[in-house]
Structure 1
Amino acid sequence: MVNKGAIRMRLAQFGSLGLATMLATSPAAAQTLFAQDPLQQDDAAPVTSTPGAETREVVQQDPRLARVQRWSVDNAMALAAVVEAIGAEGLDPADYRPDLLRAEIERGESAALDARASGVFTWLVEDLRDGRTPMEARRQWFVVDPDADLLPTGKLMADALESGDVAGVIASLAPTHEDYEALREALAAADDGDTQERRLILANMDRWRWLPRDLGGQYLLTNVPEYQLRLMVNGQIIRTYRTIVGAPGRTATPQLMETVEGVVFNPTWTVPQSIVVGEGLGNRVLNNPTWARNNGYRATRGANGFVTVVQQPGPGNSLGMMKLDMPNPHAIFLHDTPARNLFNSDNRARSHGCIRVERALELAMTVAILGGGATRDEAVAISRGGEYTRVPVERTMPVYITYFTYGVDVDGNLRQFNDIYDRDAPVLAALDAPRVGNRARETDEEVIEVVDDLNSII
């Protein structure tokens, strides 16, 4: 008779490695990593098995989940070599315990080697594909990286073991952007004694891993600390634009991945109630119609006394001559400004979160044309018409609002940017701390809806 209490005691004594070994008695058993920290607790991989003898509905294995798979000694040795060289990608080999992997290799093929190698491979995939920094250290990071769904760990492992190209499969996960490669080269050339520079390179290499590997054929990318926006087509910078971004604090510009769905020429501006009521603009517009008309304001009072103020299109409109329509819960968008002289200042962190763009009308027309929403002549005519016009685009364009404090600037120079929102410290601390498993893919930080005020816009 089976003594279940004795088995539980043995499991507690052996830890995760004992569990992995005991569950591997059947070659056909489906062994799934249900925790993302396979090297914790006696440095082994917790697994579970699906009994094959039970009558139940057949459930297809989720390819996104990492399974403990069979590792040959040759494949495990290739994996160990990858771990020992992973410092070139800005990761720490010690996180993956190559000593323990080598020890299992020396013992030969076994369930323990399967568990060890599967766990190491899983961690490498997660860190290279998704980034090593846990979500709680990514301040105001609202991008949801799709790579875990597009490049599922279980399938990657199966492909690596079937082909024998373990190193190639892992290497294919590194970001493909040229700026990441520039950081990689800078890390290789960095002086070992310059720890500050090396740490900044590591942090910003990891930030590239937070983004999708494929950014798209054409997209907009703005690096907030650089105060610059890039229009990218087929990997090349087509245009660059200086920007004004959110001031530090609650008005800091968050990091987003959104989609331009249309271009608004000659936009209106619905004034936030914090200004209509809090700053008395509603009463001023209602009580001084001449001033209101000269400044383009129209006010309506509802039956309940609620006052709405809308600034009409025109050269003095607080949003300028255009905005890019990119719906998001933060109410962040890229727009023009009548105060274009501010683009010449060095400190351009002064808005309430939205991003103001120089030569905004040029950008609007370019996006409308690239998106198939209008021809050049149509875009020019619409912009000069003076009326509110939304031009939907057939080919939507991603917008990446990023935060790099070390990287390649728009002139092609590798340099440091001011950490205007103090977002480096938590990333650096996380990289110094032990690796965290079971990492969340989405942040639970508060979404702060942008409320621009008159002083921040003009």
Structure 2
Amino acid sequence: MTLKSALSFGAAMALALPATLAAQTAEPENVLPQQAAPAPKAVQQTGQDAPDIEETSQAVVQEIPPEADPNPVGEWSQADARALLTVVEGIGDEGLMPSDYFPLELGAAIDAGPGDELNALASKVFVYLVEDLRDGRTPMDARRQWFVVDPDPDLIPTFTVMEAALESGDIAGELAKLAPEHRDYAALKAELAKTKDAKKRKLIRANLDRWRWLPRDLGRFYLLTNVPEYKLRVTVGDKVLFNYRTIVGKPGRTATPQLAETVQGVVFNPTWTVPQSIVKGEGLGAKVLGNPGWAKANGYTASKSENGFITVVQQPGAGNSLGRMKLDMPNPHAIFIHDTPAKSLFGRDMRALSHGCIRTEHADELAITMAIAGKGATKEEAIEIAASGKYTKVALERKWPVYITYFTMGTDVDGKMKTFGDIYDRDAPVLASLDAARVGNRARETDEEVVAIEQPGA
């Protein structure tokens, strides 16, 4: 496809954006809406004395900020505790294990009647359920290369969930609100309900948990790429507007990490500053300086400082390693989404071929769409910029979240449930954690090394 026809195709697709996108782009950005905290009622700071029930008509609570107490203790009636026990007994529907939540002990405490023992145990069970349903059960050391920091504990604090549950008496309903909103979570739950095979059930459970590692609400506008599927989806509301095949990092040190970042702009006709591992390590600097004709034909320019340091930049053009666009999404891993001149690679089934960055097909279409939908340019401006051949960075008014995920089971772009190859062997530690005892006080951030990708265009 020529540049002219490619841009025409991209423009046509951008024009085909549904009316819902045009309408929603005019609305204020609301990626992760805050949840209003209910009025305090029946929860108190852990370690504090319970209020004197005989002297109050209602349970009271100390006025403390929700984030100050991750392990609140509430006052539980037998009816509320029985409702909690019913949730525990049915928690297998969510891919979790009832045995993690002390069903026998809770039943005995209910039979013994209201009091400190029931308050303490029911509160502990409730907290565990909140943490596992909201944040995921898998400990951080089993989430290999998982660099997403889930905001949900801050947006939906345990304290406020317990308050709402005890105030309304709808224990199950308040816990159900914690489930991921993405339709793939519901699809995996439905698959779990009809699956008897133990191995498949365990894989479903692992991927249900992976959804809990992400923000519950991904936002109305976002990009999501599932690395093992080699696919990128452009999503508005609950509709996938476009999907594209991708190329991802090779297994090993250049495997693509899992991230939640923000697209701040679109770079049309990018330049590529070649890393020193190629300039010096592979001798490209000397080659460019020593062979000006070859360098010009391949779009390279070079400069050499007085101390001998060589800088090589590949100019915009058909052979540029980043292709004709990249999405500007600053992050310490130096991972971004970009075009590639090697279009034939999209025809392969196994596309773990890059040095970590994500290459996408129909990149011109994606770039024009993002520029228009992000209100960084009009349709005419975006097409003109793309066709100019000149480096141009278009800043977006609407910043789009982008989620780089790793699901080995889920619905494909046609809505069919499928398994995807575990190309980085990341299933094993998650599956093992499902068999191990529940880990409390889990870390929210990984301590794995951040490795900046040195060769994003390669």
TM bracket, shorter-chain basis: 0.7 to 0.9
Deviation at 1:304, TM superposition (A): 1.8
Query: Is residue 2:243 matched to residue 1:244?
Result: no
Does residue 126 of structure 2 align to residue 121 of structure 1? yes
Q: For residues 175 and 162 of structure 1, do their structure 2 counterparts lie closer, same or farther at Cα, with a shift above 3 Å needed?
A: same
CA distance in 2: counterparts of 1:403 and 1:261, whole angstroms: 23
SS at match of 2:105: helix
Q: CA deviation at 1:60?
A: 5.5
Query: Does the 8 A contact of 1:29 with 1:50 survive in 2?
Result: no
Q: Matched residues in 1 for 2:174 and 2:195: separation?
A: 27
Query: How many angstroms apart in 2 are the aligned matches of 1:349 and 1:120?
Result: 42
**1:49 aligns to what?**
48
Residue 173 (str. 1) matches residue 178 (str. 2): yes
What TM-score do the two structures reach when normalised by structure 1?
A: 0.87
Q: Percent identity?
A: 64
Q: What secondary structure is seen at the aligned counterpart in 2 of 1:410?
A: coil
Q: 1:183 aligns with which of 174, 184, 188?
A: 188
**1:148 and 2:147 aligned:** no
Select the structure with the greater relative contact order (CA < 8 A; seq sep ≥ 6): 2
1:98 corresponds to? 103
Call closer, same or farther: CA 1:50–1:106 in 2, change over 3 Å. closer
Q: Distance in 2 between matches of 1:354 and 1:369?
A: 24
1:62 CA displacement: 3.3
- Provide structure 2 residue ranges, at least 5 long, that are not aligned to the other structure: 1-40, 52-61
Q: Check the 8 A contact 1:29/1:51 in 2, yes or no.
A: no
Aligned match for 2:340, one of 320, 337, 340: 337
Equivalents in 2 of 1:324, 1:368: separation in Å? 10
Give the deviation of 1:451 after TM superposition. 1.5
Alignment of 1:226 onto 2:225: no
Q: Are the structure 2 counterparts of residues 202 and 227 from structure 1 closer, same or farther at C-alpha, using a change threshold of 3 Å?
A: same
What do residues 253-276 of structure 1 show as CA deviations (whole Å, max 9, x unaligned)? 000000000000000000000000
1:66 Cα offset (Å): 2.6
- Seen in structure 2, the aligned counterparts of structure 1 residues 350 and 395 have a Cα distance that, compared at 3 Å, is same
**Pairing 1:373–2:376 present:** yes
Counterpart position of 1:75: 80
Look up the SS of the partner of 2:252 in the other structure.
coil
**Residues 287-326 of structure 1: matches in 2 within 5 Å?**
287-326=290-329
- The aligned residue for residue 11 of structure 1 is none
| Aligned equivalent of 2:396 | 393
CA distance in 2, matches of 1:420, 1:444: 22
> Is residue 330–residue 448 contact of structure 1 (8 Å, CA) maintained in 2?
yes
Aligned to 1:440: 443
| Distance change (3 Å), C-alpha of 1:170 and 1:51 | closer
Q: Is the 8 A contact 1:275 1:453 kept in 2?
A: no
- Aligned residue pairs: how many? 406
Residues 297 and 29 of structure 1: CA distance in aligned 2, closer, same or farther (over 3 Å): closer
What displacement does 1:305 show?
A: 1.4
**Structure-2 change in CA distance of 1:29 and 1:382 (3 Å):** closer
Q: Which residue of 2 aligns with 1:199?
A: 202
Q: Kindly report the root-mean-square deviation, in angstroms, between the aligned alpha carbons of the 2 structures.
A: 1.6
Amino acid at match of 2:169: G
Residue in 2 that maps onto 1:22: none
Instruction: Determine helix, strand or coil for the equivalent of 1:220.
Output: strand
- Structure 1 stretches of 4+ with a deviation exceeding 6 A read none
Q: Secondary structure at the match of 1:319?
A: coil
Give the counterpart of 1:351 among 351, 354, 362.
354
Structure 1 gaps, min length 5: 1-26, 33-47, 53-58
Structure possessing the higher radius of gyration over alpha carbons: 1
Displacement of 1:303 in angstroms is 2.1
- Match of 1:209, SS? helix
Counterpart of 1:417 in structure 2 is 420
Q: TM-score, normalised by structure 2?
A: 0.87
Alpha-carbon spacing, 1:453–1:73, altered in 2? closer, same or farther (3 Å): closer
Cα distance between partner residues in 2 of 1:135 and 1:321: 37
417-426 or 59-68, which moves further after superposition? 59-68
CA distance in 2, matches of 1:417, 1:252: 16
Equivalent pair of 2:271/2:320 in contact (CA under 8 Å)? yes
